[in-house]
Amino acid sequence: MPIEIQVVADADALAREAALVVTGVVAERPDAVVLAATGNTPIGCYAELARLRATGSLDTSRMRVAQLDEYVGLAADDARSLYGWMDRALLAPLGIGSERVVRMPVEGNDPQAAARAYDAAIEAIGGIDLAILGLGPNGHLGFNEPPASADAPTRVISLAPETLASNARYWGDGTVPERAITAGMSVILSARRVMLLVSGTPKAAILDRMLRSAPDAALPASHLRGHPDTILIADRDARPAGSLEA
Ligand code: GLP
């Protein structure tokens, strides 16, 4: 199946359309498992979901969330962790308690074992119904830095220089941790539905490359072209050509 592409006017429209996809999935399956990206791109979608919940259009009382990625070496309660970010942007506004979250472990001295435990936990809850993803500046998904094959498991990785540079904006004066743990490409591609959100001029070139590339480890997001049910929602700044063709 080719990727379904929806080009919308701007970031606000992207947030609304993306939230509609999520509400559709949760309406169909109230205890849906949603793999949720952090980063700037999905913030508007998460805020819209909170608004829909507040107005009674979305019931999140059974919805479950899985964390997509996390820095290694932070304390579990470090506010700069991606879990902290996700808690503020998504879990708290949607009233999703930690008992309904598959958290990416960061502590402990065996992160590779923790990665395997995460994959086992995802399998144990029946897999992922919807993966909400952003697009990294080098084509990464989660922290699947290139090269990443389609069958890459959840694992510890060293962040690419461009990712460290891009994520420095979230760290103020602090140094971005150099290692992270990411849901593997195999986990992402096993999601029953994938929604990739891309916004803004800085993402236009990498999105264009992704849509022209055959599935290729050098551009991890291109693996979505082999996924059976992926929707891409991009705003005009990210997809100026506005082509409906993948
Ligand atoms: C980060 C995260 C991804 C995110 C991507 C894009 O490094 N690991 O989960 O989707 O890069 O981030 P943003 O939406 O802020 O551009």
**Tens of pLDDT along 97-122?**
999 999 998 777 788 899 999 999 99
- At 242 the pLDDT is 62
Measuring CA to CA, which residue among 106, 91, 113, 105 is closest to residue 34?
Answer: 91
59: tokens are: 């019931």
Q: Are 7 and 40 spatial neighbours (Cβ–Cβ below 8 Å)?
A: no
pLDDT above 90: percentage of residues in the chain: 85
What would the DSSP string read from start to end of 88-147?
Answer: IIIIHHHT--GGGEEPPP--SS-HHHHHHHHHHHHHHTT--SEEEEE--TTS-BTTBPSS
41 in ligand 1 pocket by Cβ < 6 Å?
yes
Alpha-helical runs (H) found in 191-229: 204-212
Residue 38 Cα to ligand 1 middle (Å): 6
- At 246 the pLDDT is 46
Q: Which residues of 67-91 are buried (b: 16+ CB within 10 A; e: fewer)?
A: bbbbbbebeeeeebbbbbbbbebbb
- At 105 the pLDDT is 81
pLDDT above 70: percentage of residues in the chain: 98
Q: How many CB atoms lie within 10 A of CB 116?
A: 14
- At 115 the pLDDT is 93
191: tokens are: 């999601």
Q: Tell me the C-alpha to C-alpha distance, in Å, between residue 58 and each of 44, 62, 100, 150.
A: 16, 11, 17, 33
Torsion of CA 196, 199, 202, 204, to 10 degrees: 60
* Mean pLDDT, residues 223-231 taken together: 97
Q: Are 96 and 65 spatial neighbours (Cβ–Cβ below 8 Å)?
A: yes
Res 244 pLDDT > 60:
no
| Alpha carbon nearest to ligand 1 atom 2, residue | 142
| Alpha carbon nearest to ligand 1 atom 5, residue | 136
The reported pTM is: 0.96
Pocket residue to mutate for ligand 1, from 38, 154, 181, 196, most atoms within 8 A of Cβ: 38
Residue 29 Cα to ligand 1 middle (Å): 27
92: tokens are: 């708290």
- Tens digit of each residue's pLDDT (9 = 90 or more) over 41-86: 999 999 999 999 999 999 999 999 999 999 998 888 888 899 999 9
Q: Tell me which of 145, 167, 227, 235 is the catalytic residue.
A: 145
- At 121 the pLDDT is 96
Residue 135 Cα to ligand 1 middle (Å): 6
Measured CA to CA, the distance from residue 130 to residue 22 in angstroms comes to: 8
71 in ligand 1 pocket by Cβ < 6 Å?
no
In the chain, DSSP finds a helix count (H) and a strand count (E) of 8, 10
188 in ligand 1 pocket by Cβ < 6 Å?
no
Q: Is position 223 annotated as part of the catalytic site?
A: no
From 3.60.150.10, 3.40.50.720, 3.40.50.450, 3.40.50.1360, which CATH number describes the 4-238 domain? 3.40.50.1360
69 in ligand 1 pocket by Cβ < 6 Å?
yes
- At 45 the pLDDT is 98
The secondary element (H helix, E strand) that includes residue 231 is: strand 230-235
Q: Residue 82 contacts by C-beta under 8 Å, 6 or more apart in sequence?
A: 38, 67, 68, 69, 70, 71, 104
- At 166 the pLDDT is 86
Pocket residue to mutate for ligand 1, from 166, 188, 237, most atoms within 8 A of Cβ: 166
Q: Is position 69 annotated as part of the catalytic site?
A: yes
Q: Please give the mean pLDDT across all residues of the chain.
A: 94
- Tens digit of each residue's pLDDT (9 = 90 or more) over 156-211: 999 999 999 988 888 887 788 999 999 999 999 999 999 999 999 999 999 999 99
